[in-house]
Chains A and B, each alone.
Chain A
Amino acid sequence: MAHFAKIDENNIVVDVRVINNSDVEANGGEKSTQAEQWVSDNFGGGTWKQGSYHTKHGKYYDPSTGELDSDQTKAYRMNYPGIGCHYISSLDGFTAGPKPYDSWTVKQDTCTWEPPVAFPTITTTGITLQSPAGVSYEQPYIYNWDEANQRWIAQTFTKDNVLENNYIWNSTTLQWEVDNG
């Protein structure tokens, strides 16, 4: 089976159709503009681009095992296209998912969305807690992107799920700083 994505005037995916391989082969073949035109002619018009179900972040994975394929020439258009994903013409690829925030931009080698401030590198406090179900775990920073202030923020919770602290990520020192004000 082959997958084709319909993109609108803003290069955003609005539909994804599964197409028979035999139809693709009979109308120009895999990765051909003729096949894309055939899909357009038969599925309501507009601009259609072929995608790859097994390509993710620019790499191709073996459909039968899920492992990285030894033949990376099979990788096609960076990511599988879903509704809301962007087609980036300069990369001839689809983004991994819809754009999460206005300020995020496309990472060139993977076509993933990248925040203006790099992801926090510290994800847990180092303190071991035990959940009500009796499972030990490291207390995490529950961090999120703060689009309004263009920064990473986080919270920590006690083992009983009570809010403990709020934090702001210092991208210079690469540390979480308490901000309970």
Chain B
Amino acid sequence: MARGNGGVIGVNNDPITELITRFTGPGTFTSRPSTGNVGVFVAAGGGGGGSTGVNKAGGGGGGGFILVPALSVGGGTPIPVSIGGGGAGSSTGSDTTFGSAPNPYYLIAKGGGAGGNTPSGPGAPGGSGGGGGGPGPSVGPGGSATQPSQPGNSGTYGSGNVGAGPTSGPGNIGGNGGGGAGAAGTSTGPGGGNYAGGNGGSGADVRPVFGPSQPWYITQNSQDGFFCGGGGGGPQTAYPPTARGDGGKGGGTPHSPFVANPSFPEYNNFSGPVANSGGGGGGGQSGGRTGGPGQVAVIEPGSASGVWSLKSQFSARKSGTWPT
């Protein structure tokens, strides 16, 4: 029998603190036995930027984005997690999964669509669609977004948007932005001077479920809490390098650097701080940038169930850590 609990007879329970489990590779999530519902974030791999060796390719679409505030998982049930890779240049990202069908907690985030190749290649469909390639004889449309139409919670809580297609005819000669989880990509067009690449669409925000700050948020350029942004489109070959399409907030990367020589230049897949963002790769000349790999994060809420000692309750209240 506990003696330090203010006179209540019973066992002193420790407070159950909030717990976040994050996966950047495969694994098994097993909740605490007392957990009923969890918050889950699933990001697929972003699509790669388009290219066939000529500039003005479309940006890759962001990976499909799922944010479920309360998913019933059954305490202690092991749930497999698999993480999709980003798409290489001109290729679609891979899917990320939480659980397996037909379990009710199964979630699948669809890989982002590849950016359209030049000439005028269409952006590929994906979680968010890739941006259309810059014009040649015709106009490359943006890819469709497949995440919202996924069955069950994957679609209900899923986000993805279309990649951009040119808006004002074949004279537009930049590549278009890939779609992001929070917004569609931007077309090359008057806003960018017709010749610039379109911007990638913004990603979506996990902070409503995971709170204002986590060590795994992308901190550069005020991207805190945003993931699965679209990649920027490439400008036409002769346009100044400042005319690139910017990556969408949430890990979308800008187009590959401007290089005047159309033969395949040496360049890298560098994604720097956007690893595991699910962001789309920028369209480019040297194969297009690679999309970011996906991830999964799960949050188990804390609680104040059980019997607390007055002392620990007082301390928790005073420090602002009393579970809700």
Contacts and interface: CB of A to CB of B under 8 A. Distances in A.
Contacts of A157: 171, 173
Contact of A80 (B88, B190, B262, B294): B88
A98 B268 contact: no
Given A61-B269, A123-B262, A161 B87 contact: no
B117 interface: yes
Nearest to A19: B25
Given A66-B268, A83-B87, A137-B195, 19 more contacts: A17-B84, A18-B294, A19-B25, A56-B286, A82-B88, A83-B93, A83-B94, A84-B91, A84-B114, A85-B91, A100-B90, A113-B53, A132-B194, A134-B193, A140-B236, A140-B237, A143-B262, A161-B194, A163-B171
Nearest to A44: B82
A34 interface: no
Interface string B28-61: 0000000000000000010010011110100000
A145 B168 CA distance: 23
A139 B238 contact: yes
Contacts of A160: 171
B78 interface: no
Contacts of B290: 53, 80, 82
Contacts of B56: 142
A155 interface: yes
A16 B54 contact: no
B216 interface: no
Given A85-B91, A142-B135, A18 B25 contact: yes
Contacts of B48: 82, 97
Contacts of B118: 144
A144 to B, nearest CB: 4
27 contacts: A17-B26, A17-B83, A17-B85, A18-B25, A18-B84, A23-B26, A42-B26, A53-B85, A56-B266, A79-B287, A82-B85, A82-B290, A84-B91, A85-B91, A112-B264, A120-B262, A123-B238, A132-B194, A135-B195, A135-B243, A137-B195, A137-B238, A142-B135, A143-B262, A144-B54, A144-B119, A144-B136
B171 to A, nearest CB: 2
Contacts of A137: 195, 238-240
Interface of A: 1, 3, 5, 13, 15-21, 23, 42-43, 53-54, 56-57, 59, 61, 63, 65-68, 79-85, 94, 96-98, 100, 110, 112-113, 115, 118-120, 123-124, 131-135, 137-140, 142-145, 155, 157, 160-163
B91 A54 contact: no
Contacts of B8: none
B24 interface: yes
Contact of B52 (A43, A124, A145): A145
A160 B173 CA distance: 12
B161 interface: no
Interface residues of B, number: 69
Contacts of B86: 16, 82
A61 B256 CA distance: 15
Contacts of B268: 54, 56, 61, 66-68
A29 to B, nearest CB: 16
A79 B87 CA distance: 12
Nearest to B235: A137
Contact of B266 (A57, A82, A131, A139): A57
Contacts of B261: 123
Contacts of B236: 140, 142
Nearest to A6: B94
A53 B281 CA distance: 13
A113 B260 CA distance: 19
B88 A85 contact: yes
A3 B90 CA distance: 18
A112 B87 CA distance: 16
Contacts of B24: 1, 18
Contacts of B82: 17, 43
A42 B80 CA distance: 11
Contacts of A98: 90-91
Nearest to A160: B171
**Chain B CB within 10 Å, residue with most, of A79, A96, A134, A145:** A96
Contacts of B25: 1, 18-21, 23
A136 to B, nearest CB: 8
Contacts of A132: 190, 193-194
A20 B26 contact: yes
A8 to B, nearest CB: 14
B27 A20 contact: yes
B269 A56 contact: yes
The 8 closest A-B pairs by CB, nearest first: A161-B171, A82-B88, A133-B193, A66-B270, A82-B91, A16-B85, A144-B119, A20-B25
